[in-house]
Amino acid sequence: LQIAQVCKRHDTIGQDLVAMCVNDILAQGAEPLFFLDYFACGKLDIEVAQGVIAGIAEACKKAGCALLGGETAEMPGMYPPGEYDLAGFAVGAVERGHMLPQLERIADGDVVIGVASSGVHSNGYSLVRKIVEKSSFDFSSPVGVSGDQTLGDLLLTPTKIYSKTLLPVLRSGHVKAYAHITGGGLLENIPRVLPDSFGVILDALTWKIPEIFCWLHKEGNLSEEEMTRTFNCGIGAVLVVQKELAQQVLKDIQRHEAAWLIGKVVSQQKGSARVKVHNMLRALQANRSLSVHSHIQGKIQTNKVKVAVLISGTGTNLEALINSTKKPTSFAQIVLVVSNKAGVEGLRKAERAGIPTRVIDHKLYGSRTEFDSAVDKVLDEFSVELICLAGFMRILSGPFVKKWEGKILNIHPSLLPSFKGANAHKLVLEAGVRVTGCTVHFVAEEVDAGAIIFQEAVPVKVGDTVETLSERVKEAEHRAFPAALQLVASGAVRVGEAGKIYW
């Protein structure tokens, strides 16, 4: 509420109120029937009240429940001008045989499904405000890769309403328990729906953590436990299902919501931690583009770093880099595209974008060093300052890499240092890991060994082939490479002594 009042945005608060009530009702397996609200203020501002109530009414439609009415109270002695308070409650119904949680059915080896949140979801805002107050930001600060959203907008993203999307799944009889992740985060909410003799083990690399949590983690210098005990960390709801039914239930949920298999139920000794979250720090670091980009976005850049992109084929990553650098807020400008093959689609994409191109056929040179020397001359001709390797199918020579040390970026289709080399997707599938991704790194003389700039995790799904996994990782590459380029071009990240990275 305080953030909404500071930002003068009152259209999302109503949905937050309704969502917290109806999502809680789902923990019993119940369908929300009706909702009532209470709006209190010092002096009624009709425009503000209309915005809040309209948000409540719209949220009730999304939840499938009736807004029966409510109460509006003016109390001049209780609230300062411009401030108001909001409360409400929902009533729902459930068939006795479908009530949750069904504690007697929960067993060792059951699977935990996580349903995506839309953001902070109305909890942990006291800590959020403290972090913002101590940071160099305010609620009007631009954030994100594009800089077209403020921090206040991001924090006021309305809480997801799960009633219509999850009720059919809860009524199927396949779900043993449902936990709404609210105050207390993952650590305190999940145990509420488990027998005392059970706990869960979760892997944070299996789901997508929204950037706002990465920003809060970095700016607040929060520990992993503080994150998982305060925030939902990207998981708005948790379902417990039998292992054999997990894939079908997940498929049903994914028709309407982003969801993942995030862990399993395990037998628990008395006194042990009921919820263990593995790889949280790594996952937060892999998704932390907001925490850096918010420092460098929002202003039109006039002194842009000149970039050359080296390609050998279709140029899908080139296209993502072009789109990113065309924005006025970009710190980089692509001034040249070089291909070692003539007639490839990447060259046509560059030409359509008005970017100069050069073809330097490696077959015309007697050695890698001669070829690299020819490339180097063209780079000097265009006063290039940074190089991006976007599907460039040549290994650069030692002298070239040494000359451009800390100035060459490459992207690899795995989470380095795992699965190096040309067959990363095949190696991932053979190893049976459940998460992969992409890595943008500085180029060193040893292949795939340079300092890591940026990573994004991607789930490996049951039934994946090299082709399907490759397509999913490519989508991540198209986000990660532009983000990494902006970090380097802005000076937010660089390589120092002994190849170490500095932020």
- For 347-357, the pLDDT digits (tens) are 999 999 999 99
- Ramachandran sector of residue 315 (left: φ over 0; alpha: ψ -120 to 50; beta: rest): left
In this structure, what are the phi and psi dihedrals at residue 107, rounded to the nearest 5 degrees? -140, 160
Domain boundaries, the chain: 1-95, 100-288, 291-502
The CATH superfamily assigned to 100-288 is: PurM-like C-terminal domain (3.90.650.10)
Is residue 86's pLDDT more than 90? yes
The whole-number pLDDT of residue 448 equals: 77
Q: Using CA atoms, how far apart are residues 27 and 182, in angstroms rounded to an integer?
A: 12
The confidence band for 258, taking pLDDT boundaries of 50, 70 and 90, is: very high
Average pLDDT of the residues of the chain: 91
Is the pTM above the cut of 0.75? no
**Number of C-beta neighbours around residue 347 at 10 A:** 22
Is residue 473's pLDDT more than 70? yes
Q: Using CA atoms, how far apart are residues 274 and 166, in angstroms rounded to an integer?
A: 25
Cite the beta strand spans of 126-192 per DSSP E: 142-143, 149-150, 175-180
The whole-number pLDDT of residue 408 equals: 96
The CATH superfamily assigned to 1-95 is: PurM-like, N-terminal domain (3.30.1330.10)
The whole-number pLDDT of residue 146 equals: 45
The whole-number pLDDT of residue 299 equals: 54
pLDDT higher for 8 or 387?
387
List 164's β-bridge partners, or say none: none
The whole-number pLDDT of residue 148 equals: 58
* Residues 6+ positions from 406 with CB-CB distance below 8 Å: 442, 494, 495
Contact yes or no for 335/356 (Cβ under 8 A): yes
312-318 mean pLDDT: 93
- Nearest by Cα to 455 from 443, 472, 437: 437
The catalytic residue among 412, 425, 441, 478 is: 412
324-328 mean pLDDT: 86
The whole-number pLDDT of residue 288 equals: 61
Instruction: Average the pLDDT over each of 89-103, 133-147, 344-358, 440-454 and give the range with the smallest value.
Output: 133-147
291-502 folds as Rossmann fold (3.40.50)
252-273 mean pLDDT: 93
- Nearest by Cα to 178 from 19, 22, 27, 23: 27
Contact yes or no for 81/43 (Cβ under 8 A): yes
Is residue 292's pLDDT more than 50? no
Q: What token pair was written down for 434?
A: 């459940």
* pLDDT tens, residue by residue, 113-152: 999 999 999 889 999 999 988 877 778 777 754 455 788 8
The verdict on whether 293 is a catalytic residue reads no
313-325 mean pLDDT: 93
Contact yes or no for 257/190 (Cβ under 8 A): no
In whole angstroms, what separates CA 424 from the centre of its chain? 23
